[in-house]
Amino acid sequence: MSIQHCAFTFKKYVFIGYAKLMKPVFNYLSFPTPKVIANHHAVLDMMEQIQERGVKRPIIITDSVFSTLPAFQFLTEALDDASINYAVFDGVEPDPDFALIEKGIEACKQHRFDAVIAIGGGSSIDAAKVINTCAWNNYEPRKTVGMFKIKNHGAYFVAIPTTAGTGSETTVVSVVTDEIDHQKKQVISMKIVPDLAVLDPRLMVGLPPAITAATGMDALTHAMESYLSLYSTPQLDEMNLNTIRDILTYLPQCFGDEATSLECRLKMAQASHNAGVTFTQTSVGWVHGIAHQLGALYNMPHGLANALVLPYVLKFYIPSATKRLAEMAEALNITDGSELEKANKLVGKVIELCESLNIRPKPNMIKLSDLSIMSKNIINEVYVSPYPVPRYFNSQIELEDFIYTIFNK
């Protein structure tokens, strides 16, 4: 056994021990969750909450595409009818970086804001989390990276997701891209969670099918990785199993150009939100670690990256988490066979879902020359976070081979 392999093994077991030590900490922490309004006219109901808070000068944070869509008018018309003086910052882009965050902070200060309304996908809500707290408290954005650097709440914060996937409206994490090293940096704080989450399915009708599919698979990944986490609890288990069942039921019904059912969209929005609640308390795993690098190196949308990797990581987990995988299968009415057979059928079910959503890896999606730095960054993320996964790779080379198999088979 080489010195390098011995060093990796030592490091692996140190972080496995660290993850186990952190379990009581995670289970003890009281994670904040937003108040939720979820119905077919939730944006209108939101106005009552805003007025009760005495909000006078909110700033809307969104992206330049959504701000031009008819669905955006649901929000602006409601604010206009209430004679509320709002401003719009629509500079958010996918994988927002610190330069964008700075622009958003300046927009907030210029408007003399007293509330933030983030509307859009995960990028808009993630950006708003950091923009809000930094603008309100005069924080330097780069200094907020890491665990619990943000000590104070920002202004009153409303999050309105327009995709059913990220769960960002309820999480304690914001992901910001560093434009210098192109790595995704996590800002983690109990103080950045929105005060109010507004789940209105009208905003999700008309989404391109590919976005519906990828974001829905993102939510499924959250729930499955949360269920497989060593930090899960019986209460979270029940929520995750219900979420997994709902996503497998309703996501296919939301996919396609003619998918206009408000009820199915609402069910997906609630499932995404619940998955956000659970993975905040349990953390995630290898799927997210790999997906973050696919986003950083190839600008691959996060939901798509999760979807491409999820079946393979589930299969990797089978030797160490057969029972847990079988339990997820049973929640989907897969009841025939041994636990091992059920676990394998669950993997097959996820592959079938991806196929039905036109999600599949393509040959040569990644460069062989990137595998070394990619795997190094993934290991650092999974071990240091820590991600309490049920199985670990035995070497960096093993992880490299695993990734290569997915994308270059």
Residue 406 pLDDT exceeds 80: yes
Residue 137 pLDDT exceeds 80: yes
Helix (H) or strand (E) holding 288: helix 286-298
Nearest to 139, CA basis, from 150, 147, 155: 150
Nearest to 76, CA basis, from 132, 160, 199, 155: 160
Domain boundaries, the chain: 3-30+207-407, 35-203
Residue 13 pLDDT exceeds 90: no
Average pLDDT over residues 130-145: 97
Handedness of CA 15, 390, 175, 181 (dihedral sign): positive
| CA torsion, ordered 238, 392, 397, 219, to nearest 10 deg | 10
- Give the integer Cα–Cα distance in Å for 297 and 249: 33
Would you state the pLDDT for residue 171?
A: 95
pLDDT band at 114 (very low <50, low <70, confident <90, very high): very high
- Amino acid 180 reads I
Residue 356: other Cβ atoms inside 10 A: 12
Q: What is the mean pLDDT of the chain?
A: 92
Would you state the pLDDT for residue 361?
A: 85
pLDDT band at 409 (very low <50, low <70, confident <90, very high): low
Same fold, 3-30+207-407 and 35-203: no
pLDDT band at 230 (very low <50, low <70, confident <90, very high): very high
State pLDDT tens for residues 262-272: 999 999 999 99
Q: How many helices (H) and strands (E) does the chain have?
A: 13, 9
- Give the integer Cα–Cα distance in Å for 289 and 293: 7
- Amino acid 364 reads N
Write down how long the chain is.
409
Would you state the pLDDT for residue 259?
A: 63
pLDDT band at 95 (very low <50, low <70, confident <90, very high): confident
Q: What CATH code is assigned to 35-203?
A: 3.40.50.1970
Between residues 8 and 86, the one the model is more confident about: 86
Give the least confident one: 10-19, 174-183, 207-216, 244-253.
10-19
pLDDT band at 310 (very low <50, low <70, confident <90, very high): very high
Contact in structure between 59 and 75 (CB atoms under 8 Å): no
State pLDDT tens for residues 23-56: 777 777 788 999 999 999 999 999 999 999 999 9
State pLDDT tens for residues 390-401: 999 989 999 999
Instruction: Give the domain 3-30+207-407 fold.
Output: Dehydroquinate synthase-like, alpha domain (1.20.1090)
- E strands, 164-206, where? 173-177, 184-188, 196-199
| Cα 29 to Cα 18, 26, 41, 229, distances in angstroms | 17, 5, 34, 16
Q: Is 6 exposed, middle or buried (0-12, 13-18, 19+ CB in 10 A)?
A: exposed
